[in-house]
Structure 1
Amino acid sequence: MLKSLCSKTLLASAIIAFSSAAVAADKVYKLKLAETWGPNFPVFGDAVKNMVKMADEMSNGRLKIRVDSSNKHKAPFGVFDLVKSGQYDLGHTASYYYKGKVPNTLYFTTMPFGMNAPEQHAWLQYGGGQDLMNQVYAEHNLVPFPGGNTGVQMGGWFRKEINSVEDLQNLKMRIPGFAGEVLAKLGATPVNIPPGELYTALERNTIDALEWVGPSLDLRMGFHKIAPYYYMGWHEPATELMFIANKKKLEKMPEDLQAILAVAMRKAAYDMFIHSYAESAKNWQTMLQEYPNIQVKTFPAEVIKALKNANDDLLKEKAAADPMAAKIIESQQQYMKQVRAYTAISEQGYLNSTEGL
């Protein structure tokens, strides 16, 4: 009788466990994502849409993500706090926008005179970069993921030519991240303005110059109508956007959905890099053919040298003031020495040896 009862009890427990698993497998998890960008924003917003679609398909409909653009949540540079506080479960933004709140976030977007996109991806995935980023964000109940790279960004649109370091004095320029601090050291006034307000700020002389991305997004913004001097880049050689997730919310989901979300983010990030590259190539041809008044410029050697010196001084100051900053900076610099040697004989070597053929 006891044996029979135990068997029945075990059977009942098995049925309950199976039923619970079936219910869990059928449960739909609904997440909210806040993005820094406006609705239907090209390339950046496309990356978010791709991620949401892939997460839905791979989870067989168990993972639904609602996206609120900046016009909805009204805080384009507040995504960090929106996700940290739990008002949103996920975010898509850029790490360096939050350097005023958490200074060590700025190193994970891009650094002046730093790594290009393949080098930076290698550092993040195989050089310890992701671990360092995790440490910085863990203190704020956040889990960070790479969110798409623009590749090398252009140096910006200027109303007037930059012929010397003196021309940077009192120049009011939209430029975020570490590069803004570098320019400030040389007498410029860096400001950060939401994407949707950039053209108006330039048109109304609120700023004298701005950098945005590159041909992939700049052409449609119309900056060339106001500021004809288009300078090559130095400040953002590999601008990585980011997805962030509320840690507590993430951990409440089944492990398979956590894995699906991570894969969807990684695939969307890769797709954005390729999409950005393709759009830049296409729009660059359009600029050359349809807008001959755009004057493509390289900053004078004197200016580049001054920017590099200011950048090096700032890195030393940051490292001396903050042990975590020192750890990140050291990691990036050591990895770049290693990976750049290979870039020089592979990518750069290929371009040099085939130039002019």
Structure 2
Amino acid sequence: MSTKNPFSLLLKTVSVAAIAVLSWSAHAEEQVYRLTLAETWGENTPILGDASKNMAKLASEMSNGRLQIHIDSANKHKAPFGVFDMVKSGQYDLGHSSSYYWKGKVPNTLFFSSMPFGLMTTEQYAWFYRGGGMELMQEVYAPHNLLSFPGGNSDIQMGGWFKKEIKSLADLQGLKMRIPGFAGEVFARVGASPVNIAPGEMFTALERGTIDAAEWVGPAFDLRMGLQKIAPFYYTAWHEPGSETQFLVNKKKWETLPKDLQVILETAFRVSAFDMYVQAIDANAVAWEQMRKENPEVQVRDFPEDVMNAMRTANKELLAELAQKDELAKRIIDSQDAYLKKVRAWTDISTKAYLETSKVE
């Protein structure tokens, strides 16, 4: 008869198996996932480029080093407007860009950056996260093996820099302006000639007369570009009341990540997006103060009433045409319109009323 205790053997077997499982788990937890990101912006572009860097740093820290993200700027990959295709194909795992750059490929992507006369930044974030915007955005990107997440907001964007003052609608006829997205289509409808060129080419194009006007972002970005040195008329906002960038994700790559790393990555997107918004507000305030001192020739202008009326009409017509042609476009437009009416009623008696009654001495 054997003297070995069967329970002792069983305990030993279980112990060995448990050690093996724990060893495997520890190894799995230590696995490093290396992702690549292509951004539309040039190297060291302030605010826009900071969002990607902040996101990568957050993802690494929150994952205890298990997520490592390498960033290639436009000067590295040489395709600022190729980010969509590079992430879609898997050449890069992630991208940081702006959704309206893809309207020529997928027209419904343009709704998720900023729409003329539409939602302001805080209103748009509320729509994304509480009003069904995220679900609609993923529906648009899903057929392209992509996920899209809000990637940071530059807040209200100025109407652009013009070499000559716009005194009436007649002054827009044939005017060549760098202005992307749906706003470019609105400008075209009222007689201007919109041009979509990469940010790094704007100054040269304006200087050489290839274009007559350029829309970029706001003082923090424009001051660095030097646009105020060439075009002294600075027009106020209408076309991008809350310009949102995006983090693009290759969906197949996303599905290979453990659930906890998916949550960490999405959290890093969200936090860095908020940081970019805060940074943009502060940087615009600082840059505008500097610009007023160093460039007294800059003249802030509102577009004339006939121009604004024509653009509002054109905007409504273009939206109606899109809604008629595409069922998904109609659902997005209807969603944004309904949310705007709901949230703007509150904005009017809160933010707007406060600004009208509160004066800074």
Q: 1:59 aligns with which of 58, 63, 76?
A: 63
Q: How does 1:121-132 map to 2 (within 5 A)?
A: 121-132=125-136
- Kindly state the Cα deviation for residue 5 of structure 1 after the two structures are TM-superposed: 6.2
Q: Is 1:344 aligned to residue 348 of structure 2? A: yes
CA distance 1:279–1:20, change in 2 (3 Å): same
Equivalent position of 2:18 in the other structure: 14
- Kindly state the Cα deviation for residue 6 of structure 1 after the two structures are TM-superposed: 5.7
Identity of paired residues, percent?
Answer: 59
Q: Is 1:238 aligned to residue 213 of structure 2? A: no
- Give the Cα–Cα distance (whole angstroms) in 1 for the partners of residues 207 and 360 of structure 2: 40
- Give the Cα–Cα distance (whole angstroms) in 2 for the partners of residues 150 and 345 of structure 1: 24
- Kindly state the Cα deviation for residue 186 of structure 1 after the two structures are TM-superposed: 1.1
Q: CA deviation digits over 1:58-105, x for unaligned, max 9?
A: 111111110000011111001011100000000000000000001000
Q: CA deviation digits over 1:305-339, x for unaligned, max 9?
A: 10000000000000000000000000000000000
- Structure 2 SS opposite 1:269: helix
- Give the Cα–Cα distance (whole angstroms) in 2 for the partners of residues 248 and 6 of structure 1: 42
Equivalent position of 1:89 in the other structure: 93
* Structure 1: segments with no counterpart, 5+ residues: none
- Structure 2 SS opposite 1:346: helix
- Kindly state the Cα deviation for residue 251 of structure 1 after the two structures are TM-superposed: 1.2
Q: 2:331 aligns with which of 304, 327, 333?
A: 327
Equivalent position of 2:258 in the other structure: 254
- Give the Cα–Cα distance (whole angstroms) in 2 for the partners of residues 116 and 10 of structure 1: 60
Matched length: 357
- Kindly state the Cα deviation for residue 9 of structure 1 after the two structures are TM-superposed: 4.8
Q: 2:216 aligns with which of 193, 212, 215?
A: 212
Q: 2:51 aligns with which of 47, 50, 55?
A: 47
- Kindly state the Cα deviation for residue 355 of structure 1 after the two structures are TM-superposed: 3.3
- Return the TM-score normalized by structure 1: 0.97
- Give the Cα–Cα distance (whole angstroms) in 2 for the partners of residues 330 and 231 of structure 1: 29
Equivalent position of 1:156 in the other structure: 160
Q: CA deviation digits over 1:98-137, x for unaligned, max 9?
A: 0000100000000000011000000000000011001111
- Kindly state the Cα deviation for residue 16 of structure 1 after the two structures are TM-superposed: 2.6
- Give the Cα–Cα distance (whole angstroms) in 1 for the partners of residues 329 and 216 of structure 2: 26
More moved, 18-27 vs 229-238: 18-27
- Structure 1 SS opposite 2:144: coil
CA distance 1:260–1:200, change in 2 (3 Å): same
- Kindly state the Cα deviation for residue 353 of structure 1 after the two structures are TM-superposed: 1.8
Equivalent position of 1:119 in the other structure: 123
Task: Report the structure number with the largest CA radius of gyration.
Answer: 2
* Structure 2: segments with no counterpart, 5+ residues: none
Equivalent position of 2:225 in the other structure: 221
- Give the Cα–Cα distance (whole angstroms) in 2 for the partners of residues 145 and 138 of structure 1: 12
- Kindly state the Cα deviation for residue 13 of structure 1 after the two structures are TM-superposed: 3.5
More moved, 236-245 vs 158-167: 158-167
Q: How does 1:92-107 map to 2 (within 5 A)?
A: 92-107=96-111
- Give the Cα–Cα distance (whole angstroms) in 2 for the partners of residues 306 and 29 of structure 1: 52
Look up the equivalent residue of 2:190 and give its one-letter code: L
- Give the Cα–Cα distance (whole angstroms) in 2 for the partners of residues 241 and 13 of structure 1: 49
- Give the Cα–Cα distance (whole angstroms) in 2 for the partners of residues 112 and 216 of structure 1: 21
- Structure 2 SS opposite 1:66: strand
- Structure 2 SS opposite 1:72: helix
Q: 1:69 aligns with which of 66, 73, 92?
A: 73
Cα RMSD, aligned residues only:
1.4
